[in-house]
């Protein structure tokens, strides 16, 4: 029972890390390697709000999320749109975007280093025990779980029940065909990229309540998000959710029942197995 709860809480953490990249890669086709830095930037916002302004870090959601939306919108328009226009096919765009966002991640780390310094930043918020089925868990992790569920739920509903959502899903399936159907593909891609960045920054705020971060740690989160997005399959929000939960549960089960030292090995083994037997990911579409 404990394994289940811990695994689900961990899965929620992973979902917060991966959701944004899922949108950016699935719809805008940008493999954003600077995703982790956006997460850390959001976390910095929460840290600043909590330590300097002495209010709940969740208040940071009010201004960090719109700011991240705007910033990512700008980045897509100025840095990435030229790559999209130039790319002759999807493979070329992926390579170009990987290189461009890789460089971008260094720029972001440098900016954060200048702005906040290189120290670790960490604070305790809602670190009280919250009892589930007789065992204590961090209240901040439970809140993160609820937030992750809310974000995933909202995204799923938004993508499947609204017209804009349908347009976004169409672009994810086939940008060329979507363009022919009258959908403004550049506008939808920009919107999806910006939304992905905002979700990542929001996730960073939730995670900062219990994780210790510094300006350089973004790459660790990018790696995790990459695995989850590829495992879950590109283009479907459900894939990322299921992959996050599976990964969280698997890692916790291995740590509790076998050995905590094998969590990384288990995660990557799962990744390799999924790629071997279902290379398009759990919910992905086989390329035609």
Binding site residues, other proteins, CB under 8 A: 2-3, 6, 9-10, 13, 109-110, 113, 117-124, 127-129, 135-138, 210-217, 220, 251-252, 255-256, 259-261, 263-264
- If you search the block for the tokens 């299921």, which residue do you land on? 242
For other proteins, which is the closer residue by CB, 2 or 184? Answer: 2
CB of 283 to other proteins, least distance (A): 25
CB of 237 to other proteins, least distance (A): 23
CA distance 132 to 20: 29
- What does the DSSP assignment read for 247-273? HHHHHHHIIIII-GGGHHHHHHHHHHH
- If you search the block for the tokens 């969740």, which residue do you land on? 58
CB of 157 to other proteins, least distance (A): 29
CB of 3 to other proteins, least distance (A): 8
For other proteins, which is the closer residue by CB, 73 or 116? Answer: 116
For other proteins, which is the closer residue by CB, 166 or 258? Answer: 258
Interior CA angle at 188 toward 91 and 22, to 5°? 55
Distances (CA, A) of 172 to 88, 190, 264: 17, 12, 31
Residue 138, strand partner residues: 129
CB of 209 to other proteins, least distance (A): 10
Neighbours of 242 (CB within 10 A): 20
Q: Strand (E) positions, the chain?
A: 129-132, 135-138
For other proteins, which is the closer residue by CB, 201 or 213? Answer: 213
Distances (CA, A) of 196 to 29, 38, 39, 287: 12, 10, 11, 23
- If you search the block for the tokens 């919250």, which residue do you land on? 130
What the block records as the tokens of 127 is 């670190």
For other proteins, which is the closer residue by CB, 128 or 184? Answer: 128
CB of 192 to other proteins, least distance (A): 27
What the block records as the tokens of 113 is 């280093």
For other proteins, which is the closer residue by CB, 135 or 160? Answer: 135
For other proteins, which is the closer residue by CB, 60 or 215? Answer: 215
CB of 288 to other proteins, least distance (A): 38
**Angle between helices 218-232 and 2-26 in degrees, nearest 10:** 90
């Amino acid at each position: 029972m404990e394994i289940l709860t811990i695994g689900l809480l961990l899965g929620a953490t992973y979902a917060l890390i991966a959701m944004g990249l899922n949108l950016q890669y699935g719809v805008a086709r940008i493999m954003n390697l600077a995703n982790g830095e956006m997460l850390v930037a959001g976390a910095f916002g929460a840290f600043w709000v909590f330590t300097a302004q002495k209010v709940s870090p969740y208040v940071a959601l009010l201004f960090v999320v719109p700011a991240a939306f705007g910033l990512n919108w700008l980045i897509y328009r100025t840095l990435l749109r030229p790559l999209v226009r130039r790319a002759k096919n999807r493979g070329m765009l992926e390579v170009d975007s990987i290189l461009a966002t890789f460089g971008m991640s260094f720029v972001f780390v440098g900016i954060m280093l200048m702005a906040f310094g290189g120290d670790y930043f960490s604070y305790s918020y809602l670190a009280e025990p919250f009892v589930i089925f007789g065992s204590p868990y961090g209240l901040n992790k439970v809140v993160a779980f609820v937030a992750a569920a809310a974000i995933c739920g909202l995204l799923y509903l938004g993508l499947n029940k609204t017209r804009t959502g349908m347009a976004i899903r169409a672009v994810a399936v086939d940008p060329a065909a979507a363009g022919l159907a009258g959908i403004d593909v550049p506008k939808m891609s920009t919107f999806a990229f910006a939304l992905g960045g905002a979700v990542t920054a929001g996730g960073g705020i939730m995670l900062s309540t219990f994780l210790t971060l510094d300006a350089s740690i973004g790459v660790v989160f990018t790696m995790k998000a990459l695995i989850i997005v590829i495992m879950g399959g590109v283009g479907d929000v459900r894939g990322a959710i299921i992959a996050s939960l599976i990964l969280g549960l698997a890692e916790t089960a291995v740590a509790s029942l076998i050995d905590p030292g094998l969590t990384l090995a288990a995660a990557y083994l799962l990744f390799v197995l999924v790629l071997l037997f279902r290379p398009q990911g759990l919910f992905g579409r086989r390329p035609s």
